[in-house]
Structure 1
Amino acid sequence: MTQHPNPPPRAEPGCPDEVSVREPSPGSGRLRLWVWELWGFVSKEAQACLFAGLFFAAVFCVPRAGLWSLPRYDLLLLIALLIQAGMVISGRESRDELKAIGLFHVLGFALEVFKTSAAVKSWSYPDFAYTKLLGVPLFAGFMYAAVGSYIIQAWRLLQLRVLHHPPYWMAGLMALAIYLNFFTQHFWVDVRWYLAAGALGLYARSQILFRPQQRELRMPLWLGLVLVAFFIWLAENLGTFFGLWSYPHQLGAWARVHMSKWSSWSLLVLISFTLVVQLKHIRQRVQVPD
């Protein structure tokens, strides 16, 4: 007996014979990947700004008149010290990293004393405080230290690497020249833009590699420093709006901080970056061409 093959099942009226499954387009997959990477970048950047974020939260919360008979500047110093202690105790910063941050604190405070002196008067701290030294409240150095803290935290969280970093002695001399110019520009020629051009040439090939989630991305080092300085400039506008310090053009009423401060902060961020790169565990992720 001949066996006939089973006939194909009859399709029900109104139903297709085959169900087609639409594959996701490659474009949608790439978009989800980039959104995921962007989320990782934003969230880790927020974590890296922990010190600065907590400090500025204190600026918003502490009244200008102070609390508990303590002036505002003194309270902010106490809060900054507690935040810094918490960073070290929690392990978010090591003692070696604290030394680098402390050095930038000292350099920043020395710059503050000079800039607020009677001979220069670039800005001023108008409120009274018990912890003022030479006219500058001691908490002011922590605003510079926050930049170093951010760079260290971002280095760890984003697994930063640097390619084509210039020789360390060249980078050190450039950072020293930039720092000294902040002083000498008031008594001699301001060579800021010449130094900026020299730094741009020195770091022209330098690249930052960072990993928000899975992919390692890159950008020119100079672009990263300029972007960081822009957000510091925004924070400086907030600081002057809340009366922490004042520039001469803000004494009558608050006004936006001059855009020229963006260039100054770009150079100061470069100084901070140069100090942080000297840390032994960070040097392991910095490639200096032979």
Structure 2
Amino acid sequence: MRARLPGWAAELVMFALKMGWSAIFGICLLLAIIGTRAIWSDAMPVYRYDLLVVVAVGLQAAFLWLGLETWEEARVILLFHLTGTAMEIFKVHAGSWSYPEPGLLKLYGVPLFSGFMYASVGSFMARTIRVFDMRFAPFPPFWTTLVLAVAIYVNFFSHHFLPDIRLGLFAATVLLFLRTRIWYRIGDNLYWMPLPLAAFLSAIFLWIAENIGTMTGTWVYSGQARLELVSLGKLGSWYLLLYVAFVTVTFVVRRPLSRQPLLRSDLATSEQRSESRAPATG
């Protein structure tokens, strides 16, 4: 098929396939949410939320066993699970949203599969870096990205009691990463995209996935009517949360970061080094 397509079309198809492969954990979890909602009834022997926990744990175990995720990526996912579950517990008790269905595998009213929804974002980000052989350059001083991520995460909690500083945080993401390009590989060609633009586009897809979650009744926002779209304000929340996700990933995986502007020759040299370290086969 690739031989019959124009070069640009073949690379577009390859880009879509790689993106889908990078997001496979989240896609599987989303399909489980949709599927269980379609077939579930009160006569089932287990609660739907509990089955989703089993599915999420099974997916994670299968990905590690099959080598679809590395243990390094699993550490990223664990961090996401912990920080995501903590936020879920706080937000549910603050009345931001709720999980209306019963379940045994709940922690302070939050079903345990919810942490895996945040973990799927970390899984996607870590796998995308590997699948596309991404590099981020020029990258700001790492400590500044940590400060930004902590400020964003804290604001998700503190805005319930203190002034919401998200407008300042939006500006900070652009100022800090304005020059940072995401370099990625499709076939033999290299491309780049401004990091803030990539974060915004990713936030759109997460907002769409969140609408699927609310329309299946898996969770419901306060004051949200049935089948009503999630507020576009949540798009901004996802945009900010993606920076927390990105910094969490780079906290574990530092290899793709560079303080200097990246040249195409730099990626070619990196690829040659990777090939020289690869074990011989055949």
Normalised-by-shorter TM-score class: 0.7 to 0.9
Give the drift of 1:56.
Answer: 1.1
> Out of 259, 262, 275, which is 2:248 matched to?
275
* Partner secondary structure for residue 156 of structure 1: helix
> Out of 99, 102, 123, which is 2:75 matched to?
99
Is residue 66–residue 75 contact of structure 1 (8 Å, CA) maintained in 2? no
In 2, the alpha carbon distance for the partners of 1:58 and 1:133 equals 21
In 2, the alpha carbon distance for the partners of 1:102 and 1:207 equals 27
In 2, the alpha carbon distance for the partners of 1:131 and 1:49 equals 25
Give the drift of 1:67.
Answer: 7.2
The corresponding residue for 1:116 is: 92
In 2, the alpha carbon distance for the partners of 1:115 and 1:178 equals 15
Is residue 66–residue 72 contact of structure 1 (8 Å, CA) maintained in 2? no
Is residue 36–residue 213 contact of structure 1 (8 Å, CA) maintained in 2? no
1:208 to 2:182 alignment: yes
In 1, the alpha carbon distance for the partners of 2:169 and 2:49 equals 34
Give the drift of 1:165.
Answer: 1.1
* Partner secondary structure for residue 6 of structure 2: helix
Give the drift of 1:253.
Answer: 2.3
Is residue 73–residue 126 contact of structure 2 (8 Å, CA) maintained in 1? yes
In 1, the alpha carbon distance for the partners of 2:43 and 2:209 equals 23
Which runs of no fewer than 5 residues in structure 2 stay unpaired? 262-282
The corresponding residue for 2:275 is: none
In 2, the alpha carbon distance for the partners of 1:128 and 1:68 equals 13
* Partner secondary structure for residue 219 of structure 1: strand
Give the drift of 1:99.
Answer: 1.2
Which runs of no fewer than 5 residues in structure 1 stay unpaired? 1-28
The corresponding residue for 1:89 is: 65
In 1, the alpha carbon distance for the partners of 2:216 and 2:248 equals 30
* Partner secondary structure for residue 167 of structure 2: helix
The corresponding residue for 1:60 is: 34
The corresponding residue for 1:151 is: 125
Is residue 41–residue 212 contact of structure 1 (8 Å, CA) maintained in 2? yes
Give the drift of 1:275.
Answer: 0.9
- Deviation track 1:45-103 (CA, whole Å, cap 9, x = no partner) reads 01011101111111121134367411000000000000011111111212222111111
Deviation >6 Å, runs of 4+: none
Give the drift of 1:198.
Answer: 1.0
Is residue 77–residue 119 contact of structure 2 (8 Å, CA) maintained in 1? yes
In 1, the alpha carbon distance for the partners of 2:254 and 2:35 equals 39
In 2, the alpha carbon distance for the partners of 1:137 and 1:36 equals 42
Equivalent AA in structure 1 for residue 240 of structure 2: L
* Partner secondary structure for residue 223 of structure 2: helix
Is residue 207–residue 219 contact of structure 1 (8 Å, CA) maintained in 2? yes
In 2, the alpha carbon distance for the partners of 1:168 and 1:156 equals 20
Is residue 106–residue 112 contact of structure 2 (8 Å, CA) maintained in 1? yes
- Deviation track 1:171-200 (CA, whole Å, cap 9, x = no partner) reads 001000000000000100000110110111
Equivalent AA in structure 2 for residue 34 of structure 1: W
1:263 to 2:239 alignment: no
What TM-score does the superposition give when structure 1 sets the normalisation length? 0.85
- Deviation track 1:196-216 (CA, whole Å, cap 9, x = no partner) reads 101110011000011122210
When residues 192 and 66 of structure 1 are mapped into structure 2, their CA distance, relative to the original with a 3 A threshold, is farther
Give the drift of 1:249.
Answer: 2.6
What TM-score does the superposition give when structure 2 sets the normalisation length? 0.87
When residues 67 and 220 of structure 1 are mapped into structure 2, their CA distance, relative to the original with a 3 A threshold, is farther
In 2, the alpha carbon distance for the partners of 1:169 and 1:66 equals 51
Give the drift of 1:115.
Answer: 0.6
